[in-house]
Amino acid sequence: MSRSGLFAMYNNNTDAFSTAASIYYGLFSMQHRGMDATGICINQNGQFKYKKEDGMVIDVFDENLLSRMEGHAGIGHVLHSNRSDVREYAQPIVIRYTSGQMAVALNGGLVNTEELRKELELQGAVFQTSDDAEIISVLISRARNRFETIEEAIADIMPKLRGAYALLVMTPRKIIGVRDSLGMKPLILGKKRNSLYFSSETCIYNELDVEVIREVMPGEIVTINQDGIKSFQQIHEEKRALCAYEYIYHSRPDSVLNGIEVFEAREDMGRILAEEAPADADVIVWVPNSGLAAASGYAKALNLPLEDAFLKNKFYCNKFVQPTEDMVRRGVTMKLAVIKSRVCGKRVVVVDDSMVRGTTGRLLVDLLRDAGAKEVHMRIAAPEVKNECYFGGNDLDRTSLISSHKTTKEIQDMIGADSLAFLSVKGLKEACKGTENTLCMACFTGEYPVK
Amino acid sequence: MSRSGLFAMYNNNTDAFSTAASIYYGLFSMQHRGMDATGICINQNGQFKYKKEDGMVIDVFDENLLSRMEGHAGIGHVLHSNRSDVREYAQPIVIRYTSGQMAVALNGGLVNTEELRKELELQGAVFQTSDDAEIISVLISRARNRFETIEEAIADIMPKLRGAYALLVMTPRKIIGVRDSLGMKPLILGKKRNSLYFSSETCIYNELDVEVIREVMPGEIVTINQDGIKSFQQIHEEKRALCAYEYIYHSRPDSVLNGIEVFEAREDMGRILAEEAPADADVIVWVPNSGLAAASGYAKALNLPLEDAFLKNKFYCNKFVQPTEDMVRRGVTMKLAVIKSRVCGKRVVVVDDSMVRGTTGRLLVDLLRDAGAKEVHMRIAAPEVKNECYFGGNDLDRTSLISSHKTTKEIQDMIGADSLAFLSVKGLKEACKGTENTLCMACFTGEYPVK
Amino acid sequence: MSRSGLFAMYNNNTDAFSTAASIYYGLFSMQHRGMDATGICINQNGQFKYKKEDGMVIDVFDENLLSRMEGHAGIGHVLHSNRSDVREYAQPIVIRYTSGQMAVALNGGLVNTEELRKELELQGAVFQTSDDAEIISVLISRARNRFETIEEAIADIMPKLRGAYALLVMTPRKIIGVRDSLGMKPLILGKKRNSLYFSSETCIYNELDVEVIREVMPGEIVTINQDGIKSFQQIHEEKRALCAYEYIYHSRPDSVLNGIEVFEAREDMGRILAEEAPADADVIVWVPNSGLAAASGYAKALNLPLEDAFLKNKFYCNKFVQPTEDMVRRGVTMKLAVIKSRVCGKRVVVVDDSMVRGTTGRLLVDLLRDAGAKEVHMRIAAPEVKNECYFGGNDLDRTSLISSHKTTKEIQDMIGADSLAFLSVKGLKEACKGTENTLCMACFTGEYPVK
Amino acid sequence: MSRSGLFAMYNNNTDAFSTAASIYYGLFSMQHRGMDATGICINQNGQFKYKKEDGMVIDVFDENLLSRMEGHAGIGHVLHSNRSDVREYAQPIVIRYTSGQMAVALNGGLVNTEELRKELELQGAVFQTSDDAEIISVLISRARNRFETIEEAIADIMPKLRGAYALLVMTPRKIIGVRDSLGMKPLILGKKRNSLYFSSETCIYNELDVEVIREVMPGEIVTINQDGIKSFQQIHEEKRALCAYEYIYHSRPDSVLNGIEVFEAREDMGRILAEEAPADADVIVWVPNSGLAAASGYAKALNLPLEDAFLKNKFYCNKFVQPTEDMVRRGVTMKLAVIKSRVCGKRVVVVDDSMVRGTTGRLLVDLLRDAGAKEVHMRIAAPEVKNECYFGGNDLDRTSLISSHKTTKEIQDMIGADSLAFLSVKGLKEACKGTENTLCMACFTGEYPVK
């Protein structure tokens, strides 16, 4: 399992921006997708040069390193991981095999990892990581010699991969982008003059002035190289299952996913939530920063003022010396503060993007009451998260998900809110302009698109 | 000259929070006042232990160091500096003299530095820094033996100090807080059970649950120690000159200054600006993060929707590999992005807190037009900055201040906006509930309160 | 190819020293065998935990890390490398395969690497490094399922490995030590109460008070685990080929190799060299530190005083800012100095352990002449190095070896010595108490023991 | 008190070596004199630029920094300190006073520090460190305005300085070297074409090809600048008191002090010790590295073989994870090893340069016995250290000095040696070619040259 950001560039020489720097910026703009490890592999005249490490983009790469990694093509990866030995999972996986070198980067996860590993081991494969990307690289390399092209090899092994994935495969002559047949993970094709790109999100395309061509289609295999773009497989299944959490939280608000701007989808979630669960209140406030879009939609729908009540300390990071337990118990957070004038004496609705463990909820309600709020109503712009995600959507097992074992009323009491409401699944579908046949909402509904 | 944050605690043993940790949190919450150097000096049973370094609070102090710096009293300092050899300026200045040890921390700056230094040198003084705080420490130490108390010594030298200052002086038995006679720099007295505090801002008092007692008065000398609070001097001049820029930019929005919450003052600036310079527009957007309060006031006054159009990359920091000049020229910023749906096809008003060099303005207008804005009107919630500040308010010489040599119309053309307007000085006074006899607005008006 | 140090411990619970710490000390005492990368893999109740990185032992491991790596068995590796991407070569290689986990560490190198890699790739193997140890791990894993025990699998693949190697293989239940059939690379079995060890040198056994049991025999496969020691294969070939350079330079002087203390062997080299090439001189000096033993033998044989003339700066390291080319040309070295009184006005013999590129020779002669030496005679306590080593003995290609293209007289002129002599091959054999059928002296003679 | 190394260069433009780099190499070659802090102050066209920090030369300075510190003159300092807040003591002290800037670096210490500080404080001085160099800088600055030249000011204050010192004072136009009137601390004048130097030792002059001119005389004030060398004061007292420990331990063996090469002095100590306390033995061994010269003298005198028995691990440093107490108790040192063949079955004399605490002695005897030595005789090439040094010679208080409270026989029993002998004071004088009127031997005799 990996929640990741992918970026690739095939630099067809008409673009003045360096390949390594472009990938660096691509990964940097998707840092929110994974802060645990970063890797870039560059094709230098047929030789692969790579660096992958635990840490954020700015920690792993610097100017010197980027300048030594120049080449005409490359792929990059940022990783979110909940494992302790992060480095083992850093990607791309770079291998040597009969047909030369191959680099593989994966966003997503397989549910039949163990089964595939066993099967390959019985055929003599050895593994140096427990990473799905390594398994996929071995599968491709083994299929490769049975086919004339690597695209055919990939097409051959895709039916074996049970799970959600977007995949980048770089060989000395091309870069290939692949999505699973349900299109659970995003991958978007871009173009700037003759140079070609793959990215998990469109946000970086805006920044680099790259034109969005289209999404890689579910089940499609797309190759980019000096000759342009080639598509190798079109699967015409009706069923799709794009992860709804991409709209709710994972993607950057300025990204466009399946034709819908993420910010707009979030504002719609707030708007619909206002219709489903209005509140008799004086002001709407948001939880920085991910709750803003939904709060904006909620406020507009009810024609109530949207106020900036929470101050998030931007210097807060993992080097910060945490308050002692005693200090925390006595209310010291140092991370969030409230601007009193916004809420004092008022009936407040606080809107957040989603609720997973429920720990933040209690803190928010306390901070607002301490600041003098007369009433505190909490509104969550997503349905109750009741089920684990096996595809990288959330990291938690079922028991950590508060909604898996508490009713909305019980949670409301636990966090001390005057009222609490979640967006309905129906509302979510409406906001994402999707259906249960186009969206994966398994974490809310328990209906998994893959066995 | 130094723009700084000051924090002091005299821990009268009934408070479970450690002195060093409290000062650490105090400085951390005022990190926005200065990111260049940090220092803490602790009184350990009469022995002073200190650490001061270039870097932010989280860079200079860690858990180990804090635990070794425990004591019953201490003062801390964060520094903003535009000099290259920052470390020389790190404070507090800690000296040994006839009466033992003394630690001095200063927010502000003197205009007669050179004169005082010369005079002291002629009396045999040597200096190891070019810091005003060092000069003040020498002045106090020399006056000290002519008086029975250090407070009298401070009172004696205050007429010599021409400038804006808030001062903390720690001796083995007390901590003294001082403000210049015009009250140009803030200093607020706090209390939590028997422990006593000084801080440049109230924001941290909320976080630590410290009760605000009152501001140190202009020209006042206030001592805190185990016996409580003593005030040593009351100057009853009518003239005051609190830095108006504290309301506009320097202070955190949740701080309360002279009885006025900074956020409210900023929202009022926006409101008044809307009255003075309305715009025929569809949406109001703000420049993150300091423009939000004013934009909110502007939008409310005109009853127009306030929208979140700009995305600031929160991973951006000084380790980031900057785009090349060529990339910048071709529009790559990586720091700010625009959410298209907010502005595309619309007439947009963008509100910022102030305009100093004018370089950001051009970028904002370009980004909004690239995102499809039909019209871009810029509104600045402060008057034109035309004059240098000698007291730490801005770092720039006159020639760098765009409004010192360009008219509003010229700036509007330069940045490419459809219209541009600044808040009037009158409007600023109204928002800050002050007059030219209570506020320093020299950077706008050229009327300096000190020669 | 890798020149390395190997250390393994199977901790049978009666020893109070921790496994991870013991391996740390084992590697630390063999740091001279490789300073480029370090790795340790520990068996924690059947789970392998490892860390490998570029850098020296003290750089890669610290107290925290060691304490988190506790377990009952483990293997470690220090690497000497002349490649740039050192990290790829860090060992042990840790893989997962049908029979679980396996960790492999190698000292030495194969000459049929490419051939084996090709063969394996055709069978579907992929490689993530270009390391011989990875190839060996794949070979073993593939052979494993054709045999009941891993020892049989190792025995099966050994005939395929053309080269010089000592090998450690750790599985969840045992550690296996292996030497090539010519015994080119050392590996010694040790014991301390019930705990069992493998090491490339005996020096660490002295330090940890471990008893030397015996060397692993050429071609032997030795297993250690909780049941003690088992030997799985005895090859009774007459031909041996222990690397003579282990005596000349690689091993620490207090190590015992094939029953001969390295220091004694080196002193004998000096003694024999004195017989072969005496010098009419006043003093013998050595090149620190590796020339001391031979110089001592040389001096004793001629009954001449041995003097400490060279001072090596012990603070010299890779952080040192190197003198500019101009400074170097004008004689600034900062690394070596001469104590004038030892050599001024005297006829000096300078003894070094071996001569590879010849660059140091010139420097030594110059330094001695500058210090006032009347005559400078250079004596090299090893034969002329004329041939490349394919087994990790030296890193250089033939053209870099000064003796491959210059006669002794030419070298003498080049370095400016009054005379120059090398130890004969016959002398070397005598000092090492070996023959051309027990020693590999290919770098001197060109007679390679392996095709 | 400070034991330090001083180096200065006045670069008169004909030398191609950069000033900053030359000082860097000067300090690096005297790193043994102090490893706790390093500082360099450079005169850049009249502006002083400096950097001082805790850490060794290679830690504090790198290529970038050196290149930014270019100038035509400069002074540097390495510090040995036994205090915890090392940075406070880093030198040079750089001050601004009536006559501009002044940088001061000190080797040595005053015994009337507190008295001088008190006196200056009463005159209004404040101190930011507790460093003698700061006090001296204040004294000079205050005397400066009573005289026409700074040399006169220095001459004026010298009678006030009770203690041992060598001093460097840099002003914008010159560098001044000063020694106390007893010449307790060394300072040597050098020249390379037109450039002029001061150094605490001559060793670096050899490395940089600088010609030794002469030592600064006791009580002398020597100025170097663009006009060459000027001497300002000659004190013709008979009494001298050069620290004898410079010969025994502090100086590098290739340095020449008062006309005597340190190595030769040490060898003579060994030679005389052999006459005073011969041993009936088979071999002489030395303690690396400082015992080698004396052991050589000892061995020659008795015509016994000198053998290299101890191996010091050159990778040992402060990052090394120390063995646990249990491991140490059971004999694990990891720092020193013994080459068995050198001592096994033999009667061994081990020679060390001096004995301070006596802790190493026990370890050496144990190691030799474990290696099979039949007898172990310890010989110390210095007298018993019985008294504290107030001038930086040793850091220890009297109770830590083993010879202050134990007889030689008691120490012999404690360390388990078969015999133990120290060099006599008379022997020391002979080796150093001095008398009680030219050498300070207070740590041995208790006769302090300064009250």
Asked if C167 reaches chain A (Cβ–Cβ under 8 Å), the answer is no
Residue A259 lies in a domain: no
- C308 vs D296: CB contact, 8 Å cut-off? yes
**What percentage of residues in chain C have a pLDDT greater than 90?**
79
- Are residues D210 and D307 located together in one domain of the fold? no
Nearest C-alpha of chain A: how many angstroms from B380? 19
Amino acid symbol at A410: E
Among A103-112, A179-188, C386-395, D93-102, name the one with the lowest average pLDDT: C386-395
Tell me the helix, strand and coil percentages in chain B, rounded to 5: 30, 30, 40
Q: Strand B283-286 vs strand B347-352: parallel, antiparallel, or unpaired?
A: parallel
Residue C13 lies in a domain: yes
**What percentage of residues in chain D have a pLDDT greater than 90?**
78
List the B73-80 sheet strands across, edge first: B47-54, B37-44, B73-80, B3-10, B195-199, B188-192, B211-215
Q: What is the rounded distance in angstroms from the CA atom of residue A265 to the CA atom of residue A286?
A: 16
Domain extent for A337 = 264-437
**pLDDT for the residue A37:** 93
Residues 6+ apart with CB under 8 A from A119: none
CB of B380 closer than 8 Å to CB of B425: no
Asked if D64 reaches chain B (Cβ–Cβ under 8 Å), the answer is no
Q: What number is the ipTM of this complex?
A: 0.90
- Are residues A74 and A150 located together in one domain of the fold? yes
CB of C190 closer than 8 Å to CB of C255: no
Which other chains touch chain B, taking contact as 3+ CB pairs less than 8 Å apart?
Answer: A, D
**pLDDT for the residue A289:** 81
Q: Which of B265-279, B310-324, D46-60 is predicted most confidently? A: B265-279
- Are residues C138 and C283 located together in one domain of the fold? no
Q: What is the rounded distance in angstroms from the CA atom of residue C396 to the CA atom of residue C202?
A: 27
Residue D319 in this model has a pLDDT that exceeds 90: no
Q: Binding residue per annotation — A354?
A: no
DSSP 8-state assignment for residue B317? -
Other CB atoms within 10 Å distance of the CB of residue D426: 11
**pLDDT for the residue C320:** 84
Residue D73 lies in a domain: yes
Q: Which of D36, D20, D32 is nearest to D75 (CA)?
A: D20
Other CB atoms within 10 Å distance of the CB of residue D375: 17
Q: Which H or E run contains A369?
A: helix A359-370
**pLDDT for the residue C82:** 73
Residue B261 in this model has a pLDDT that exceeds 70: yes
C311 vs D21, D254, D326: nearest CB? D254
**pLDDT for the residue D72:** 94
Q: What is the rounded distance in angstroms from the CA atom of residue D191 to the CA atom of residue D210?
A: 6
Cα angle: A349, vertex A355, A359; to 5 degrees? 90
Mean of per-residue pLDDT scores for chain B: 92
| Contacts with D31 from chain C: Cβ below 8 Å | 313, 315
Residue C394 in this model has a pLDDT that exceeds 90: no
Residue A8 lies in a domain: yes
- 3-state SS, one letter per residue, for chain C: CEEEEEEEEECCCCCCCCHHHHHHHHHHHCHHHCCCEEEEEEEECCEEEEEEEECCHHHHCCHHHHHHCCCCEEEEEEEECCCCCHHHHCCCEEEEECCEEEEEEEEEEECCHHHHHHHHHHCCCCECCCCHHHHHHHHHHHHHCCCCCHHHHHHHHHHHCCEEEEEEEEECCEEEEEECCCCCCCCEEEEECCEEEEECCCHHHHHCCCEEEEECCCCCEEEEECCEEEECCCCCCCCCCEECHHHHHHCCCCCEECCEEHHHHHHHHHHHHHHHCCCCCCEEEECCCCCHHHHHHHHHHHCCCEECCEEECCCCCCCCCCCCHHHHHCCCCCCEEECHHHHCCCEEEEEECCCCCCHHHHHHHHHHHHCCCCEEEEEECCCCCCCCCCCCCCCCCHHHCHHHHCCHHHHHHHHCCCEEEECCHHHHHHHCCCCCCCEECHHHHCCCCCC
DSSP string, B73-139: EEEEEEEE--SS-HHHH-S-EEEEETTEEEEEEEEEEES-HHHHHHHHHHTT--BSS--HHHHHHHH
Residue C440 lies in a domain: no
- List beta partners, residue D380: D352, D422
Q: What is the rounded distance in angstroms from the CA atom of residue C2 to the CA atom of residue A137?
A: 28
Q: Which of A23, A302, A308, A340 to mutate to test the interface with B (most CBs of B within 10 A)?
A: A308
- Are residues C86 and C201 located together in one domain of the fold? yes
Provide the pLDDT confidence category of residue B86 given band limits of 50, 70 and 90. low
Residues 6+ apart with CB under 8 A from A254: A202, A203, A206, A261, A262, A263, B311, B337, B338, B339, B340
pLDDT, average across residues D354-375: 93
DSSP 8-state assignment for residue D245? H
Provide the pLDDT confidence category of residue A88 given band limits of 50, 70 and 90. confident
- Are residues C214 and C314 located together in one domain of the fold? no
Residue C84 in this model has a pLDDT that exceeds 70: no
Amino acid symbol at D388: E
- A261 vs B326: CB contact, 8 Å cut-off? no
pLDDT, average across residues C241-247: 95
Provide the pLDDT confidence category of residue C145 given band limits of 50, 70 and 90. confident
Q: What is the rounded distance in angstroms from the CA atom of residue B204 to the CA atom of residue B25?
A: 8
Residue B87 in this model has a pLDDT that exceeds 80: no
Nearest C-alpha of chain B: how many angstroms from A232? 33
- D178: domain CATH number? 3.60.20.10
Q: What 3-state DSSP class applies to B420?
A: strand
**pLDDT for the residue C306:** 94
Residue C443 lies in a domain: no
**pLDDT for the residue B189:** 98
- A361: domain CATH number? 3.40.50.2020
**What percentage of residues in chain D have a pLDDT greater than 70?**
97
Among A227-241, A300-314, C390-404, name the one with the lowest average pLDDT: C390-404
Strands (E), D240-335: 242-243, 256-257, 260-261, 283-286, 306-307, 310-312
Q: Count of CB contacts below 8 A, A vs B?
A: 144
Residue B131 lies in a domain: yes
Which other chains touch chain C, taking contact as 3+ CB pairs less than 8 Å apart?
Answer: A, D
- Are residues D138 and D279 located together in one domain of the fold? no
Per-residue model confidence as pLDDT tens digits over C220-233: 999 999 999 999 97
Q: Which residue ranges of C make up the annotated binding site for Mg(2+)?
A: 290, 352-353
Asked if B137 reaches chain D (Cβ–Cβ under 8 Å), the answer is yes
**pLDDT for the residue C392:** 73
**pLDDT for the residue C442:** 94
**pLDDT for the residue B2:** 59
Q: Count of CB contacts below 8 A, C vs D?
A: 143
Q: Which of A291, A264, A407 is nearest to A350 (CA)?
A: A291
Q: Which of D431, D299, D207 is nearest to C308 (CA)?
A: D299
Residue A174 in this model has a pLDDT that exceeds 80: yes
- List beta partners, residue C6: C77
Q: What 3-state DSSP class applies to A351?
A: strand
**pLDDT for the residue D2:** 59
- Are residues B70 and B147 located together in one domain of the fold? yes
**pLDDT for the residue D314:** 83
Q: Binding residue per annotation — B440?
A: yes
pLDDT, average across residues B164-177: 97
- Are residues C161 and C292 located together in one domain of the fold? no
Q: Which of D126, D138, D142 to mutate to test the interface with B (most CBs of B within 10 A)?
A: D126
- Are residues C207 and C120 located together in one domain of the fold? yes
Residue A84 in this model has a pLDDT that exceeds 80: no
D339 vs C61, C254, C342: nearest CB? C254
Give me the number of domains chain A comprises. 2
- D122 vs B98: CB contact, 8 Å cut-off? yes
Sign of the Cα pseudo-torsion (D413, D414, D415, D416, in order): positive
Asked if D20 reaches chain C (Cβ–Cβ under 8 Å), the answer is no
Residue C242 lies in a domain: no
Q: What is the rounded distance in angstroms from the CA atom of residue A421 to the CA atom of residue A378?
A: 7
Residue D397 in this model has a pLDDT that exceeds 70: yes
* Whether A and B touch (3+ CB pairs < 8 Å), yes or no: yes
Q: What is the rounded distance in angstroms from the CA atom of residue D336 to the CA atom of residue D316?
A: 10
Residue C86 in this model has a pLDDT that exceeds 70: no
Q: Strand D306-307 vs strand D283-286: parallel, antiparallel, or unpaired?
A: parallel
CB of D46 closer than 8 Å to CB of D39: no
Mean of per-residue pLDDT scores for chain D: 92
Q: Which of C126, C128, C138, C145 to mutate to test the interface with A (most CBs of A within 10 A)?
A: C126
Name the residue with higher pLDDT: B130 or D416: D416
| Contacts with A293 from chain B: Cβ below 8 Å | 308
Among C58-67, C325-334, D137-146, name the one with the lowest average pLDDT: C325-334
CB of C286 closer than 8 Å to CB of C295: yes
Residue C324 in this model has a pLDDT that exceeds 90: no
Residue at a domain's end among B184, B202, B237:
B237
- Burial category of B63 from C-beta neighbours within 10 Å (exposed 0-12, middle 13-18, buried 19 and up): exposed
* Whether A and D touch (3+ CB pairs < 8 Å), yes or no: no
Provide the pLDDT confidence category of residue D341 given band limits of 50, 70 and 90. very high
CB of A139 closer than 8 Å to CB of A157: yes
- Are residues D213 and D316 located together in one domain of the fold? no
Q: What is the rounded distance in angstroms from the CA atom of residue C352 to the CA atom of residue A389?
A: 67
Provide the pLDDT confidence category of residue B403 given band limits of 50, 70 and 90. very high
pLDDT, average across residues D53-67: 91
- A25 vs B332: CB contact, 8 Å cut-off? yes
pLDDT, average across residues D194-222: 95
Phi, psi dihedral angles at C236 (to 5 degrees): -105, 50
**pLDDT for the residue C333:** 80
Distances (CA, A) of A108 to A54, A55, A161, A404: 18, 19, 11, 23
Q: Which H or E run contains A260?
A: strand A260-261
Per-residue model confidence as pLDDT tens digits over C175-220: 999 999 999 999 999 999 899 999 999 999 988 989 999 999 999 9
- C98 vs A127: CB contact, 8 Å cut-off? no
CB of B352 closer than 8 Å to CB of B363: no
pLDDT, average across residues B13-29: 88
Provide the pLDDT confidence category of residue B359 given band limits of 50, 70 and 90. confident
- Are residues A101 and A212 located together in one domain of the fold? yes
Asked if A121 reaches chain C (Cβ–Cβ under 8 Å), the answer is yes
pLDDT, average across residues A170-194: 96
Nearest C-alpha of chain D: how many angstroms from C183? 25
Residue at a domain's end among A237, A256, A283:
A237
- Are residues B204 and B316 located together in one domain of the fold? no
Other CB atoms within 10 Å distance of the CB of residue A159: 8
Could you tell me if residue D262 is left (phi over 0), alpha (psi between -120 and 50 degrees) or otherwise beta? alpha
Read off the tokens for A116.
């595939």
Other CB atoms within 10 Å distance of the CB of residue B280: 11
Q: Which of C444, C412, C449 is nearest to C428 (CA)?
A: C444
- D128 vs B97: CB contact, 8 Å cut-off? no
CB of D191 closer than 8 Å to CB of D182: no
